[in-house]
Amino acid sequence: MKAENADFYDTLSERLDPRSGKAVQSAENDGEYWKNVLDIRWKGDIHFTVTKALFRRGLAVYCVMRDGQLLSPQYYAAKPDDTLLRAMQHIIDDIENGKYNNKKTLKEKIRKLVSERGLVSYMNNTKWREFLGALREKAPDNCLQYKTVFEDEAPAEYRDIFSDEELEHMELSQIEWLKIKSTLTEHEHMGALLPPKVRTHDKKEELLQIMREYNIPYEYGEDEQAFIVYGYK
């Protein structure tokens, strides 16, 4: 894998013109599954990065970033052929010509929207990660719903935490609020001719312990029987 990464970097460094950017060979892994290969850097903290997969031979991803956040879509590639090199050079030239200077990352869009709405922050990414991790570990059956600062209306349904794949990978600083049901309802099938047996479990104290342990600010709605944690208010 080291030789393959070196060969990939050598091809890119020989065939791509970084213009005024500074091209460096990265030695860092991006988590367990990706290897950073190339990083071309410009003033203003704009980067053109190429990352190779450690789990699949020949797979690479390239994109434009600032402050560790995407400024462009992520593009996927298999090998550095002429078509791929032309596409990469086109993006590099766009960076050089200022196309990405005024583009905003997701975090910058969130900060702008929060400022325009006059919202006050109650949570941060670290607290969200700790809290959601505790819910997955200690209260995985509880149902939740959440609204982001980009949404005009609240979602219609509650979902269990493991069925929401977006929540697992999203930028958590966009969560405006998150609700957690304090009761869990189970329906036991009793047969084709009988109604299901309904059991309700009170999870209020269990959830309170988690929020106290991680110092999570919350409110409780008696009518909805749900805790609400505000990211912003």
Domain ranges of the chain: 2-103, 110-230
pLDDT band at 48 (very low <50, low <70, confident <90, very high): very high
Collapse the DSSP code of 118 into the 3-class scheme (helix H, G, I; strand E, B; otherwise coil) and give the result.
coil
Helix residue ranges, H only, the chain: 2-15, 82-96, 106-117, 125-138, 165-169, 204-213
Q: Across the strands, what pairs with 61?
A: 51, 76
Collapse the DSSP code of 109 into the 3-class scheme (helix H, G, I; strand E, B; otherwise coil) and give the result.
helix
Question: Do 47 and 40 meet the contact criterion of CB atoms below 8 Å apart?
Answer: yes
pLDDT band at 184 (very low <50, low <70, confident <90, very high): confident
What does the pLDDT look like over 31-45, one tens digit per residue?
A: 778 889 999 999 999
Q: Residue 190: its pLDDT value, please?
A: 62
| Rg (the chain; Cα; Å) | 23
What's the whole-number mean pLDDT along residues 219-232?
A: 95
What's the whole-number mean pLDDT along residues 121-143?
A: 94
> Could you tell me which of 178, 184, 69, 185 has the C-alpha nearest to residue 132?
178
| Residue keyed to tokens 């600032």 | 66
pLDDT band at 56 (very low <50, low <70, confident <90, very high): confident
Collapse the DSSP code of 8 into the 3-class scheme (helix H, G, I; strand E, B; otherwise coil) and give the result.
helix
Residues 6+ apart with CB under 8 A from 102: none
Note the pTM of the prediction, 2 decimals: 0.83
Collapse the DSSP code of 192 into the 3-class scheme (helix H, G, I; strand E, B; otherwise coil) and give the result.
coil
Q: Residue 209: its pLDDT value, please?
A: 96
Question: Do 82 and 67 meet the contact criterion of CB atoms below 8 Å apart?
Answer: no
What's the whole-number mean pLDDT along residues 23-38?
A: 80
Average pLDDT over the chain reads 90
pLDDT band at 174 (very low <50, low <70, confident <90, very high): very high
